[in-house]
Structures are given as C-alpha cells and as structure tokens.
Amino acid sequence: MAEASGDGGMEDKISALPDELLIHVLSHLRSREAVHTCVLARRWRDLWQWVPCIDVSFKEFADMPYEDDDEDDFEFKKFVNRLLMLRRPVDLEAFRLEYRLPTDGDYAEDDSAGANLWIAHVLQYKAQAVKVVTQNEYLQLAPSVFTSAYLKRLHICNANLIQGFFKHLQMGCPVLEYLLLSNTNIQDLDIFSNTLKALTLADDVMFSFNNGDQASISAPNLTSLSFEWCPSAARLPVLKNMTSLETASVVLLWGTIRYCDADGIKQFLGGLSHVRSLNFCYGVKKVEMKDNYRWCPTFGNLINLTLHSSCVHGDFYALIVFLQNSPSLKKLTLELYQVYGLLRSIYPSMNVGAFTVKIKLFLFICQREYQTQDIPTITGELEDRSFTCEQLEIVEIICSEGNELLPWVNQFLLDSGIRPDQMRVIYED
C-alpha cells in the first residue's frame, strides 16, 4: 500500500487512486467495513458516504461483548439509521439487509418497522436491487414500501406477504423483472405480474389460505420459472399466461404439495408447454394414469429435458410419455440419484443441523422407498410404448458408480433405438 518516497516518508499509492475507483472498491465491502476505512487517512474520511451499495447485517454486531442481550440489536439499528442519514444523496445500485426479529415469539409489527422504513428510504434513492433476509421469525413486510420506478430485482427471504402484496407490487414497481421468494408466507391467492422475467419460489414458500383454494401464477412476460423447493400448498398452483416461458425448473416433493392427482398434474404441466428447457423432479406420491389419460402436453419447443429417478420407475412410463410428447428434443438428461443424493442435489450445501424439517422429510422418503414399493412416481399403461425423437443428439446419465438403476436404464435406451455413441454416463459421488 505504501513504499518509501524520496524524502524519507511513505507514499500511499492506493490513496492516490481516483475517487471513482476507490468508491468502486468500497462498494464490494460490507457497509460497516466501508465506514471503518474513514480512519485510514484524511483522504478516506468521506469516501464511504458516496458508495452506491449498502450491505448491512445484524451478524456484525452479534459477537460484540455487550452487557445487555438486546444491546447488539440496538447498536445495529443505530448504525443503519446513522448510515442512511449521513451518506451522500447518490443513487443506489443495491441494498442488502440481514435483519433479526425477537426470538421469544412475542413480537409485533413494530419489530418489523425498522426494516420497512429502511427499504422505503433506499427505494427513494433509486435502488435497483433489494435483498432482505430475516432470521428467526417472519418479517412483516408492508406492501406500501415497495414503490419505485427503478427497482428491477427483489429477493425476500423469511417474510410474511399479506393479502394485496402482489397487487401493490404490480402497480408500485413497474420495471420489476426478477423476483426471488424463499421461506416466505404468501397470503395472496394469486401471484401476477406483467413485468417479471424471472421468478424463483424456493425453500418452503407457503401459501396461507383455505385448503380448498388453489393458487395461481400469471406472468405473460416470464421467461424463467424455478421451484427450487416446491411451495407448500394443498394443491399444485395453476400456471396462467406463460407463453413467453423458456426455462423451467420444478421440484415437486411429498410434504410440500399435500394433494396431487392426474388433473392437477395435467393442468400444471400445461402451463409449461412452451418451454425450451425443463428440469422436472416428481416425488409427491404414486399417481396412476388410467385409460391412457393425456396428462402430458406436447412440448413443441422443448430442446433440453432433465428428469429424475422417479420417472424411470413404473416401467419407464413417465419417461416414455415425456419423450413421446417432445418432438424437438436434442438433449435428455437422466439424474439417477438415490434418495439422499436427490436431496443433496437440491441442496448442495445442506447443513444437517440447519435443515431439521428437510431431514425429517428425507427420513420419511427413505422409509417409503426402502420399506415399501409405493415409490412416488407417475404410472400407467400405454397402448404404444414407442417414441421417435428424430433430433435427439445425446442422452446424459448422471449417477453414482454402482447405481442399481443404471444397467436397467442403459438397456431400455438401447432397446428404444438410442445408439451407444449418443449415450454418456457421468459419475458423481
């Protein structure tokens, strides 16, 4: 950072850099770290005030030796308030907030007031990306704070979205394109947006309304849809106006969808019929399609298809039906994971201690797979088991060495006319 100068002093080369470059460097630090640079030298004293990104977390104050248990939260909120008051009125690129609510369960909406005020404040300074993550309890987000003609990306984790939230989001944020919701409680029956291009519902998103009601998702300009861990609901949501959809990744597992039948599967997949790339994992329950029921739509645009182990059970019924309805398919990927491998593929960084609910689900699925023959899959009888994928170039099989399904799948593909040079096996632990 510094070296000896001709007069015997020290030359600070970093401080000699232009303000714009130094501010860019500070924008990659947590806000508290950026503020601390003010003590380096007079040259640095005010630079943090011009940083276009705010990244604050209660965790930075949690390990301090405070006498009172609540003092760390008090100091955190005081720091954020002063940060927002003292920074220069420059436009914001991003706001990232890790917030904590009381852990005793006796909290009110007032405990969420600070986060709501901060979100409203940063949106006044044209923040284009907002990420809000809460620990312990659901953050009570006020729909009215989301009013911005500049917000493009919104990521909410562990929050409660009251009825009317999406209606206000549609009107208040007219350029919103990317929305990620994880571990969030949704009280709206309908999710709709005319501007969204990418929507991710992950990590136990819950719909809170009567079990007889059915959620819907309507987004005519959506190009990417992801259910990284399917939303918890009684029934599969209805997908409407998805004609622009190009990519979809869907994980349907027991414990998230409590009721699933042939009509629900048909309705859900029908909303995905325009995609070019589909990753589909089914593990809700065993559903038998009777009398050649047409539950799978024709995927006329589908080029890349990824299916998981459940689709090869039931004498390859689900796999055959997908292939019969994918005339443009170029690449087929089969992921032949055992149950734990499946869960790990969905949560590659899964921490056993942190995901108690998911471990319970894992144990339940294991019990179902290894103690009964009722493996969650889609089954049925086919009058015609043949399929023609004239444009198919490669079949990729991902599994562990010694996977018991691999020889069975290999033989099926060969018997179906797939050439050995079109098949590739990738072994993963």
Query: With contact defined as beta carbons under 8 Å apart, do 38 and 44 qualify?
Result: yes
pLDDT tens column, 345-398 = 444 444 434 433 443 444 444 444 434 446 788 999 998 999 988 899 999 999
Residue 115 to residues 11, 111, 140, 186, 280, Cα–Cα distance (Å) = 43, 8, 9, 19, 36
Query: With contact defined as beta carbons under 8 Å apart, do 121 and 145 qualify?
Result: no
Cα–Cα distance between 41 and 37 in angstroms, integer? 8
Q: Give the contacts of 372 (CB within 8 A, at least 6 positions apart).
A: none
pTM given for the model: 0.85
% helix / strand / coil in the chain, to the nearest 5? 30, 25, 45
Strand partners, 153: 129, 178
Supply the DSSP string of 47-68, one letter for each residue: GGGG-SEEEEETHHHHTS--SS
Choice between 174 and 63, residue whose per-residue pLDDT is larger: 174
Burial of 402 (0-12, 13-18, 19+ CB in 10 A): exposed
> What does pLDDT average to over the chain?
85
pLDDT tens column, 295-353 = 999 999 999 999 998 899 889 999 999 999 999 999 999 999 754 444 444 444 444 34
For residue 173, count other CB atoms closer than 10 A to its CB: 22
pLDDT tens column, 252-277 = 876 667 778 899 999 999 999 999 99
